[in-house]
Structures are given as C-alpha cells and as structure tokens.
A and B are shown apart, each in its own frame.
Chain A
Amino acid sequence: MAVGASVSTNTTGRRDGGSQPKSSLKKFSQRRSTIAFALCLPLILLVSAFVIYPAFYALYLSMLNKKMTAFVGLNNFTFLLKRNTFQLVIYQSCLFAISAVLIKALLGFIIAHLMHNIPGKNQRIWRGLLLVPWVIPLALSTLTWWWMFDSSYSAFNWILNQFGFEGVPWLGVGWIARLCTIAVNVWYGTPFFMIMYLAALKSVPEQLYEAASIDGANSVQKLLFVTLPMMRNIISITVLFSLIVTFADFDIVRILTAGGPQDNTHVFATYAFQIGIQSGDIPLGAADSLFMFPMLAFAAFFVLRGVTKRTKEIAA
C-alpha cells in the first residue's frame, strides 16, 4: 500500500522533470530533489515493508477466525474483552507500566541530582558503574534475577533467613511476582532516566541558580522554581517514552514468570505471544497486541509534541 504510494511519487517526479522549462536553476533543484528522494528510498522501502504493511496486515489478521478461513469482524476483540484473563492482562499492563515508570523517574531524578553534586571529573566512573544494568542485554540480566528469585535456593531468601525471617515465594504468589517484575524493570530502566536527567540538569544555566540565591531562595525553592520548570519538557519526553517501552515490555515477564502464577503477571506482549505463537491462534494474538495501540498512540502524540516544542525553543 505505502509501497505503491512511494513508487507513484517517484514516477511523477520524473515526469515533471521532463516537462519542466529549461531553466537551469529549476533543473538543478529538480535533480536535487530526485537524488534526495532516491537516498531516502531504502528507508521508505524498509519501513513500508516491515512496519506499515504489518500494521495494516495486523488489522486484517485480527478480524479472521482461528483457522484464518473466515472473516469474523470484531469478534476477536469482544471475545478477548469478555475473557477474565484478558481483563487481568489490561490491569497488570497498566499497573506494571505506570508504577515502574513513576519509580524509575523518581529514582532517576534523585540519582541525577546526587551525580550533579559531585565534581565533574569523578562523574564519569560513577556514571559508568550506574549504567551497568542498562548495558547488559535485558534478556540475560533477567536470567540472573530469575536465579536470585529461585524457589529452592533463593539468594534473597538466604539473606532473609540469616536475619530470622521466613523465605518468600518470590515468583510463586501473584502479588509478589508482580512486584518482582516491576522491581526488575526499575533496576534496568533507572540508569536511562539518570543520564537523561543529568544531561538536562547540566543544561540549566548556572546564572539562574545564582540569581535565585541572591533573591534568598533555599534549595527546595530552587528545585521547584528553577530546576523543575527548566527540565519540564525533558521530564515529560523521557517519562512518555519510557511509558511506551515499559508498556510494551516482553523480556522481563516472559523470562521471569512466563505470565504465571495463574496468569497474574501477563502483560499484552507476553499474552499475545502465548496465544498467538504458542497456541497458534494468530488472529487472536494480533487482536491482543492491537489493544496496545491506543495507549502507544496517546503517548507517542505527546512525545512528538514535546520534541517539536523543544526543537522550536532551541531554534528560537
């Protein structure tokens, strides 16, 4: 579909080139835009073939029956919404994404401030150490978390036992397992917030703080009336971006719990994998992942708005 559109603009571009008056400047700009388009062509083809086409194909797939032989309209969507497990999935996805992002944002903000306090030449090594969770591929570090939460020989339970507490069935009980998935996500994602906020903190002009202290502002007032307003845009961009990534997370839940116990930790992505790939009901799986779309579109809209606003601010 989009492939067709891009090809047609290409041919019209060429036809125009032939019929243009022979002004050399126009010809030059014509040639320029043809080359420009040709340079973008690989990108357009890639995105059309593996992002735009699949998106529409997903819509089509989600309206078929399980054997993909008949058109069933919106039945898959209504079927999912009526299912208890799926209601749990919606609840857990929102809980997982929102609480993880809030904790990450808060911790990232605190750590960025601590980092900003220490002298610049020492920041590099501390930043390097704090970025380790974010550097290790998530699928691999989640394996370590799984092993630490292990039911028979949990490293955490050993510590609890040393202090005389009972061991905790980390991944065996619904609520605890939910908290575990959130904790792993916070561990992985906080460094990202930290570097974004640290960069933002560094971009706040020092004169503003000086002016504030001359006016007698204390550090809380400086934070509320200088730092936060200056960082507002970056905070919102980072939070919304992380909301998208966290909402669509697959690795952590898949490896840690595979959705269990009793489907308590399933998020959209893992549930789609289970019904679509493992149980072979492709249309139902496609419908499941499409439920993510409104949330993602909402966040994407505001990220885009924030980024455009930011670009204009810098240009001005």
Chain B
Amino acid sequence: MSIIVSAIGQGLTWGIVGIGLFLTFRILDFPDMTVEGTFPMGAAACVAAIYHGFSPLTATIIAFAVGMLAGFVTGILYTKGHIPVLLAGILVMTAAYSVNFRIMNRANLSLYGKPSMLKNSFLESLPPYFDSVTLGLIFVTVVTVLIIYFLQTNLGQAFIATGDNPTMARSLGISTDGMQIMGLSVSNGLIALGGALVAQNNGFADVNSGIGVIVVALASIIIGEVIFGDLTMNERLIAVTIGSILYRFVILIVLKLGFNANDLNLISAIVLALFMMFPVFEKRFRLRHTFTRGLSSHD
C-alpha cells in the first residue's frame, strides 16, 4: 500500500516537471533539452540555499528563479543568437552541469539534519508517504491553476498562437521572440521547481539527476494523451499529472518484475517509445477498436 502512495507522491511532484515541458514541447513545439540541466539546477539551488540558512519555501522559490534564468539564456541564444533551439538547449544543459557543481561545490549534497518543506508538524503527523502526496498535490494544483489562468489571458493566447503559427502571430503584432523567451523561462522555472521538490523528497541533490528527465516528463505528457485522446487545453494540462502518476505505476510494476533502479532509464525510454508508437500500433492492429469492442456489451 505505502509503495503505491509513494508512487502517487512522486507522480504528483513530477507532474510539475511534465507541465513545464508541456509549455515548450507541446505549446511552442520546441524540443528543449535545457530541462536536463535545469532539473538538477533546481535541486542544487534549493539544497544549497537551505544550507545557507534560507527557509525551505524561500529556497524552493530561489530554485524556480534560477531555472527561469537558465531557460531565459536558452531563449536568448535561440531568438537573438539564431542558434537552433535543440542546440541552444544542449549548450545550456552542458553548461548547467558545471554551474550545478559550483552551486553545491560537490557532486551531491545531503539535506540530512537540515530543514525541508516536508519537515513540519502537520506533514509529519500524516501516515508514511502522505507528506509527499500532500506537498506534491498542493504545488501541482497551484501550478496547474496558474497556467490554466495564464493561457486564458490575452498574453497566454498570444503565447499559444506563437507556437501554433509564428508567421500569423507576427502578422498580428505578437512579439514571437518575446513569447518564446517567456515560454522557455517559465517552463524551465517549473522544471527547476520540480527538481527542488524532488530533492526535498529524496533528501539530497545530485548533479547527475538530470539524466533522463526529458524522457520521464515526456512520458507523462504522452501517456496522458494516449489514454485520454482528444481533450481541451485545460484538460490536457491536468492529464499530464495523471499521466505522470500512471508512469510511476508502470515503473513500480517493472521494478516488481525484478529490475533494479539502475535499469530505470532504459525502462523509461522503452515505456516512452512504446507510448509514442501507439498511433502506429493502433493503425496496424486497430487497438482502440478492439478495446472498445471488448469493453462494450455484445449486441
């Protein structure tokens, strides 16, 4: 039971990372690799800030700001420097590795004996793992609500239009450069926020924790899309978090089968590949048709 609760807690926290990636990957249609650098950057910044005596909440907000800064740099390289967005992201990701070392002065830093947002009397009074579920739920809800509100504003609509058709957006006077920089900044801010929360959950930050982040976040997005199909924008944002939780269940099952934690990146990649190929399988084997027929009564 507790293992399932733990998976839900992780799924909720990683849902924030998925929503961050959704902004660039789905709305702007950008393959942004920066995230593999900003996730550990958020973790490093948060833990280092706690070491420097900042409150855990302030440290988490600092992590968000630091992530935004990294995304901002990618945005500038892409829009003003005319470096392809994939390469711009890889550059910042690579640079971030060194920066993260500088932030912590070492490869990993434990929060043992230090405060964290999980260490308060209310969360500690909950049954095991419900603390991370509660914290994850609060953050993912706030983030989802804010993003949904933002996307319904005039600025948010201009942001969506930029990803949908940049030529048209420019012809309506929308600064597509500005929108892209903003999207990359907010997206990476959210991913760093996710990194900060995961670090507090795990009790440490590690410079190598970025590897595979893009695959895990993408898996959340794709699983949500494959399972729920056609949705409105708001529903799709919620589906990301549900996809993130389902992904954790898949990992849980795979681990039960006897794989160990070091196999996780291989498994994550396979899970994502399978879900991304779902439309191909569906066409070939008429999967959805078979499922719906199997679920409906015979007539």
Q: Are A and B associated in one complex?
A: no
Q: Which residues of B contact A (CB under 8 A)?
A: none
